[in-house]
Amino acid sequence: MPPAHVPPRAPLSPAQWRALLDVHDHRPWPLPVRPFLMTMSWHDLLFAHWRVPVARLRELVPASLELDLWQGEAWIGIVPFHMSQVGLPSLNRLPWLSEFSELNVRTYVRCGGKSGVVFFSLDAACWPAVLGARAGFRLPYYWALIHCEREGEAIRYHSERVLGPAARFEASYGPSSPVRRSAPGSFEHWLSERYCLYTTDGAGHALRGEIHHLPWPLQSAEAVFGRNDMLGWLGLEPLAAPPVLHFARRIDVLAWPLERCTAD
């Protein structure tokens, strides 16, 4: 959560970005030693999680990454949100480039003893960011037309992919409880408190990108879904159960460059 004096959509100053590094006792491992590369603020975020078949998920995740399961079960998340101050610390206020909406499809993996996230897709409403993230971070970004609008406490979200496998997502969602910090060892802590992402290089070797933020200011959430093709194009069908939903109004994130990950 941003400092109390920072409004929900207000930008952070350089000093406020650096101050995030002073709060790190909640992390499962130490902060990286080298300087961070990028900043980004995530706004009006929905975590929508479905349980999926372990065997099918294993087929989709690179072999160099170990599935991270919750009590033997696999979960996949669809995460719509809006981003601001995206970019290098000195270049995170650029018109058309530093603020846009994004939609992620992700699951949970481990490598080298660190639990993290691997993405099946990241749809973004900014084609230069798509090109930059594909080249610089080897992430499966796609250009999409996204409309994200706040109506009171609720968010109306619509995304339709422009390039790549056809996929559309429609939802209206919002918080339904006060803000809380998830308890270590809980399911929602396992879903949300992750401090690295994974991808692979051209030879299939695992690469890790460290991130840092304060503990997630989670709320329970309610959502009404319209069309949702974000799993179907992967050939992945969720098991028959309603999704687990969480909401976060804002979190500010620091990111580091990719590095080679060695297995346990």
The confidence score (pLDDT) of residue 8 equals 67
Q: Is 235 left (phi over 0), alpha (psi -120 to 50) or beta?
A: left
Quote the distance between the C-alpha of residue 122 and its chain's center. Answer: 9
d(CA 241, CA 169): 19
| Tally of CB atoms within 10 A around 138 | 15
**Percent of the chain whose predicted confidence (pLDDT) is above 70:** 96
Query: Looking at residue 179, what DSSP letter applies?
Result: -
**Dihedral of the alpha carbons of 107, 116, 193, 137, in degrees to the nearest 10:** -90
d(CA 220, CA 238): 21
pLDDT tens by residue, 144-177: 999 999 988 899 999 999 999 999 999 999 999 9
Query: Looking at residue 88, what DSSP letter applies?
Result: S
Q: Tell whether the model's pLDDT for residue 263 goes beyond 70.
A: no
Domains recognised in the chain with CATH numbers = 37-254 (2.40.400.10)
d(CA 241, CA 69): 17
Residues 129, 143: contact at Cβ < 8 Å?
A: no
Burial class (CB in 10 A: 0-12, 13-18, 19+), 220: middle
pLDDT tens by residue, 91-141: 999 988 999 999 999 999 999 999 999 999 999 999 999 999 999 899 999
d(CA 57, CA 237): 10
pLDDT tens by residue, 186-209: 999 999 999 999 999 999 999 999
Query: Looking at residue 6, what DSSP letter applies?
Result: S
Which has the closest alpha carbon to 168: 248, 80, 82, 247?
A: 80
Q: Tell whether the model's pLDDT for residue 211 goes beyond 80.
A: yes
Residues 149, 125: contact at Cβ < 8 Å?
A: no
Amino acid in position 62: P
**Percent of the chain whose predicted confidence (pLDDT) is above 90:** 89
The confidence score (pLDDT) of residue 136 equals 87
Amino acid in position 165: P
